[in-house]
Structure 1
Amino acid sequence: MLKSSGCRVCLEMGNKDGKRPIHEAAHFSQLECLEVLIKAGCDVNALKRADWTPLMLASTRPDEPCVAALLGAGALPLLANKDGWTAAQLAARAGHLAVLERLLAAEPRLLDSRSRTGRTLLHTAGEARLGERAARS
């Protein structure tokens, strides 16, 4: 329906940061909106400024269903932002285990990914864990 009504262009328009509606839906864990945008054919691998995809934004939240919807629609988990961070590294940094497990099940090669500074997924997860401990102390 959205495609036939001429709304397709609106669905792919970005704001000044290059964020499209699909980025916003993923970032704010709006699964129903995300599903409508995916069904309308929005680009699940669209890049906003700083090279963040909807999957990366969803991975910063403890929202495994949004991540699963994006992966099911063809989102590429190995894409990295300008700093070399993948969705898995962002999920690990935020401490979202269910999201991280979903990403690794979809793409096991994420274990070998490195940021531009050489940080591995294990470095990121370990640092996040140490940060949790410090916050509780």
Structure 2
Amino acid sequence: MRIVLLQSIKMNLMDITKIFSLLQHDKEEEDTDTGEKQALNQAVYDNDSYTLHQLLCQERYKRFINSRSGWGVPGTPLRLAASYGHLSCLQVLLAHGADVDSLDVKAQTPLFTAVSHGHLDCVRVLLEAGACPGGSIYNNCSPVLTAARDGAAAILQELLGHGAEANVKAKLPVWASNIASCSGPLYLAAVYGHLDCFRLLLLHGADPNYNCTDQHLLARVPQPPTLLEICLHHNCEPEYIQLLIDFGANIYLPSLSLDVNLQDNKGTALLLQARATPRSLLSQSRLVIRRALHQASQPQAIDQLDLPPVLISYLKHQL
């Protein structure tokens, strides 16, 4: 146990050192007049893409395209454009070679900023430009967690469609983690009442049994709650329970105990009914096909199957 703890601390110190090396200011830039930086930021702030383009055509300005500056949370011009949702300026910056995954002083990428502010168009452009859909490995949170919490279904669809992890969790060292601190996006979508996000995550392979898929963490918790328990505990609408059942949640997990006196609760009634009724062959076939495609990392291949449209819709949970 002591060895594992020391290794975790060592790894965390290495990560912290790496973060500081990424975020520290260049000495040459510190000694340079900040007029060029201010001019770039002002053009972005004014959403003046023409002036921004003219400035970046000059080497004296372009050399500061990835420099962090400004009040509050110092960041690059690209972060500023993503924050305000100034799409044209964002496109100009990317066209002139701005680092799409540049970090601000909180180790957040422009994509994370765009997601946090709900700017769907900026999210799309950044992802198409190659932004990492998972954000920065040096930031505790992720774009998927933020979108699931905020109920931004369209943004979540873009992130998952570009390969973001549906089972992502907050990035915390093992020794500082617990079930509560490692809430995954499926948990957040449920407790904040975002059914569309909940369904999207399941469609993209989110685990219907546990909120957290970290086996080391689950091993440290005597009886980790299942998502079915979480949804029942938070009095989620029965649609959440039905989705978990449809996506193959284990309704017989030992940790899941139901009071028969709660049958008047619609969610509980659905679960009790599922326990008493064998899953249909059609439902089992859908689970097998979807799991096989996810294991092959080809979930979108459902549309290419030689099946009638009604069965394709069933496989995609559109019926």
Q: Same fold (TM over 0.5)?
A: yes
Alignment-mate amino acid for residue 12 of structure 1: N
Q: Percent identity?
A: 27
Conserved? CA contact 2:82–2:119, under 8 Å: no
Match of 2:168 in 1: 113
User: Contact 2:111/2:135 (CA < 8 Å) preserved in 1?
Assistant: no
Partner of 2:155: 99
Deviation at 1:71, TM superposition (A): 0.4
Partner of 2:7: none
Q: Which amino acid aligns with 1:31?
A: L
> Highest CA radius of gyration, 1 or 2?
2
Taking structure 2 as the reference length, what is the TM-score of the superposition? 0.38
Which of 54, 62, 84 is the aligned partner of 2:118?
Answer: 62
| Correspondences of 1:21-40 after superposition (within 5 Å) | 21-40=77-96
**2:192, 2:81 → 1: CA distance?**
25
Cα offset for 1:80? Answer: 3.9
The structure, 1 or 2, with the larger RCO (C-alpha pairs under 8 Å, 6+ apart) is 1
Q: Which one of 36, 49, 65 corresponds to residue 105 of structure 2?
A: 49
Using structure 1 for the length normalisation, give the TM-score. 0.83
Question: What amino acid sits opposite 1:103 in the alignment?
Answer: L
Q: How many residues align?
A: 129
8 A Cα contact 1:55 1:70, kept in partner = yes
Equivalence for 1:133 = none
TM-superposed deviation, 1:11: 1.7
SS at match of 2:169: coil
In the TM superposition, residue 129 of structure 1 has moved relative to its aligned partner by 2.4
Asked if structure 2 preserves the Cα contact closer than 8 Å seen for 1:55 and 1:67, the reply is yes
Asked whether the equivalents of residues 111 and 143 of structure 2 are also in contact (C-alpha less than 8 Å), the reply is yes
For structure 2, the residue ranges without an aligned partner over 5 or more in a row are: 1-53, 173-180, 195-319
Paired residue type of 2:66: E
